[in-house]
Amino acid sequence: MPVADYKTYCKMIDRAKEKHFAYPAINVSSLTTANAVLKGLAESKSDGIIQVSTGGGAFASGSSVKDMALGAISIAEHVHRVAGRYPIFVALHTDHCQAKVLDNYVIPLIQETERRRTAGLPNLFNSHMFDGSDLPLKENLDIAVKLLERCHRSELILEIEAGVVGGEEDGIKAEASAKLYTTPEDTLEVARRLGSVKGARYFLAATFGNVHGVYKPGHVKLRPKVLKECQEAVEREYGKAARFDLVFHGGSGSSLEEIHEALDYGVVKMNLDTDTQYAFTRAIVDHMFKNYSGVLKVDGEVGNKKNYDPRSYLASAEAAMAERVKQAVRDLRAAGKTMFKG
């Protein structure tokens, strides 16, 4: 199917919320990783989300260009072109964008969608994340409200973050003193401020001890109950319809119990990067070890072109990453739930 339109994306989210499952949102930074996600989703008969971070966009644009927005546009255009060959819906999203890079990333991407809509073309992305979690909540929400108004005019969903996801992603490291658990008071303020943009839709990344990256057991103390408390607070104040569409960041390495508990509290999107990165690289390592004398020209030999052609190990990496995507789909109870009726 083509990339989901706004109506389809909203329906996807509503269904997930109602049926207590979530979509994997997988970071990609190349055609091969984007294809891996599409393959994994299609083989699981699940809809899902492909997302590009600022670093992923810069990488995709090429090491001499390093233009994060341009690289994200390239990947999105590729996905728009090939998505029609897969019997599922996919949505395109951009990951963490801090206030200081908005003008280099999310704003040009919104402009690109605005330009396309004026020309009668479909949106390029479906949603964008603004990550103002390093700012005081008021400043975070001042920027978020303005962005949400603009996104809403072009049928884009905005993701925001309250509280801080620990660890490191894309070279952005959370402070040791960071607020790793969102409070109901903070999320009520989010609902009040963003709820003032009538008809607009947003995701909330509320943090409950989540950390980017993967750590040994015991290092991370997840408290999914925080999400429950936030949902109950917002429901008391603004009614059932105000319950948040929650996003689970730093999902790599979480236990199935923790994931399922979070789904029961209204998580509809779970981000995955570290685990799929590992799956991709693991397959390449395997290839290199098994074909050592083929990928290298050892002792005056000529190696084996079949082994060092990048397509050979990248195809294995694509397949391995797709398998990890399939596991994420199962963990998130999304298998077989595609809305696409072929």
- Catalytic residues, by residue number, are 95
* Least distance in angstroms from the C-beta of 161 to Zn ion: 8
* Least distance in angstroms from the C-beta of 296 to Zn ion: 37
Q: Which run of H or E residues covers position 216?
A: none
* Least distance in angstroms from the C-beta of 240 to Zn ion: 28
Binding region for Zn ion (CB under 5 A) out of 111-119, 170-178, 226-234, 245-253 = 245-253
Neighbours of 265 (CB within 10 A): 22
For 76-109, b/e burial (b = at least 16 CB within 10 A) is bebbbeebeebebbbbbbbbbbbbebbebbbbbb
Query: Nearest residue by C-beta to Zn ion?
Result: 249
* Torsion 286-289-290-292 (CA) sign: positive
Q: Are the C-beta atoms of residues 283 and 319 closer than 8 Å to each other?
A: yes
User: What is the DSSP code string of 71-96?
Assistant: HHHHHHHHHHHHGGGSSS-EEEEE--
Nearest to Zn ion of 168, 257 (CB atom) = 168
Residue 171: how many CA atoms within 13 Å on its side-chain side? 7
Determine if 39 is a binding residue for Zn ion (CB under 5 A): no
Nearest to Zn ion of 27, 312 (CB atom) = 27
- Chosen residue from 193, 201, 249, 326 binding Zn ion by CB under 5 A: 249
- The first and second tokens of residue 264, run together, are 């029961």
Nearest to Zn ion of 247, 325 (CB atom) = 247
Q: Are the C-beta atoms of residues 251 and 259 closer than 8 Å to each other?
A: yes
* Least distance in angstroms from the C-beta of 26 to Zn ion: 12
Q: Tell me, by CB under 5 A, how many residues bind Zn ion.
A: 1
Using CA atoms, how far apart are residues 274 and 282, in angstroms rounded to an integer? 12
Nearest to Zn ion of 193, 249 (CB atom) = 249
Using CA atoms, how far apart are residues 134 and 165, in angstroms rounded to an integer? 10
Binding region for Zn ion (CB under 5 A) out of 75-83, 227-235, 244-252, 281-289 = 244-252
* Nearest Cα residue to 144 out of 92, 111, 187: 187
For 141-180, b/e burial (b = at least 16 CB within 10 A) is bebbbebbebbbebbbbbbbbbbbbbbebbebebeeeebb
* Least distance in angstroms from the C-beta of 212 to Zn ion: 6
* Least distance in angstroms from the C-beta of 129 to Zn ion: 8
Nearest to Zn ion of 24, 294 (CB atom) = 24
Instruction: Kindly identify the residues of this chain, within the stretch 110-169, that bind Zn ion according to CB under 5 A.
Output: none
Binding region for Zn ion (CB under 5 A) out of 13-21, 134-142, 181-189, 248-256 = 248-256
- The first and second tokens of residue 265, run together, are 């509290």
Binding region for Zn ion (CB under 5 A) out of 22-30, 242-250, 274-282, 305-313 = 242-250
Nearest to Zn ion of 17, 249 (CB atom) = 249
Binding region for Zn ion (CB under 5 A) out of 57-65, 101-109, 243-251, 257-265 = 243-251
Residues in touch with Zn ion (CB under 5 A): 249
